[in-house]
Amino acid sequence: MDFLREFFSKDSVKKFLTLIFIILLFYAGKSMLNLFLLTFVFTYLMNSLQNLIIKQLKRITPVKEKLITVILYSLLFASIVLIIAKYIPLLITQSKYIINQAMDIDLTPDSNSDIVHKYLMSLFQQVDIKSYLKSGFDITFQFATNIGKWSIDVFIAIMLSLFFMLEKRKVICFLRKFENSKISGLYRYLRFFGNNFLNSFGKVVQAQILIAFFNTILSVIMLSVLHFPQLITLGFMIFVLSLIPVAGVIVSLIPLTLIAFKIGGFVKVIYVLIMIAVIHSLESYILNPKLMSAKVHLPIFFTFIILIASEHFMGVWGLLIGIPLFMFILDLLEVKLHDK
């Protein structure tokens, strides 16, 4: 008994048990995972944006936090309404156009083609494009059936985020009351994990979203120079896939090269490959070091293993948050991946 008492009194053991408790809690409420993650992402991003704006404005004039919060969320709601009313129908129309164009691609080699051209055409013929497009349709229909639930989750998440931002100080004061309660020990460890979660997971997610914005803007500019059609749909696709580390770049190559081949043949495909290589280099050597608080050096092998495992356990969310979650765990274990 003395051994057990001494064992469970260790700080490391208590932290481990608290972590197990948090994991079990999330597993029990896994049906609400979408709502939790959306609320966290909206709150974290809006709080970071609010702090940045207030910091800049304070140099000129005093500002009220609540006023900035109301303005930011008003702009957010207005943007969502604009996207739903104007760009979603356009997105659907452009997606149908791209799929129809891709299905009309003729991969039969011309008799006047050279050996290299014929060889590349035979390689393309081995790819079952219609099957690939059919799976794309299936994913689209599945997304359409879930869009109602997603809309409700997004709306509730934004409202919860708004209420938190408006009463941020009151919420913090309320939570501090647990410091001297009967569960003060549990509260202390939960606060420890919460701070680590914000400092690792939150910052990596924020950096991922910023990098996705940069990638999308640069890609759309380059695609417009190459005279690609339906840039809104392609921009949306690139943004979503840019949120998936490494794998997103590879997946985005498939539709982009198909469209490039349709509008300009293999010359256009080479231009697209060069474009992807340039943007990926900018991301790897400029954006990542600038936006990440620490330079994360995860081997590509482990990146894919994490993405596969996280997608298996968490679905689409796993692709988006698998890497940040893994970084959070490494941070807890005090594993240093960056060079000092």
What's the structural domain count of the chain? 1
What is the mean predicted confidence (pLDDT) over 51-68?
Answer: 86
Tell me, yes or no, whether 339 lies in a domain.
Answer: no
Tell me, yes or no, whether 152 lies in a domain.
Answer: yes
Q: Is this prediction's pTM over 0.75?
A: no
**Which amino acid is it at 99?**
I
Interatomic CA distance for residues 71 and 122, integer angstroms: 56
Q: Considering only 59-68, 149-158, 217-226, 242-251, which range has the smallest mean pLDDT?
A: 242-251
Tell me, yes or no, whether 338 lies in a domain.
Answer: no
Interatomic CA distance for residues 203 and 197, integer angstroms: 9
Boundaries of domain holding 21: 2-332
Tell me, yes or no, whether 69 lies in a domain.
Answer: yes
Contact 106, 113 (CB under 8 A): no
Tell me, yes or no, whether 340 lies in a domain.
Answer: no
**Which amino acid is it at 44?**
Y
Q: Write out pLDDT tens, residues 103-113.
A: 665 555 555 55
Q: Which pLDDT band, with edges at 50, 70 and 90, does 120 fall under? A: low
What is the mean predicted confidence (pLDDT) over 95-100?
Answer: 66
Tell me, yes or no, whether 204 lies in a domain.
Answer: yes
Q: Is the pLDDT of residue 118 over 60?
A: no
Q: Which helix (H) or strand (E) holds 3?
A: helix 2-8
CA–CA distance from 319 to each of 199, 243, 305 (Å)?
20, 8, 11
DSSP string, 242-259: HTSTTHHHHHHHHHHHHH
Tell me, yes or no, whether 98 lies in a domain.
Answer: yes
Tell me, yes or no, whether 234 lies in a domain.
Answer: yes
Interatomic CA distance for residues 300 and 248, integer angstroms: 13
List phi, psi (to 5°) of 334: 60, 40
Q: Write out pLDDT tens, residues 242-287.
A: 777 666 777 777 778 877 877 777 788 888 888 888 887 777 677 6
pLDDT of residue 12: 72
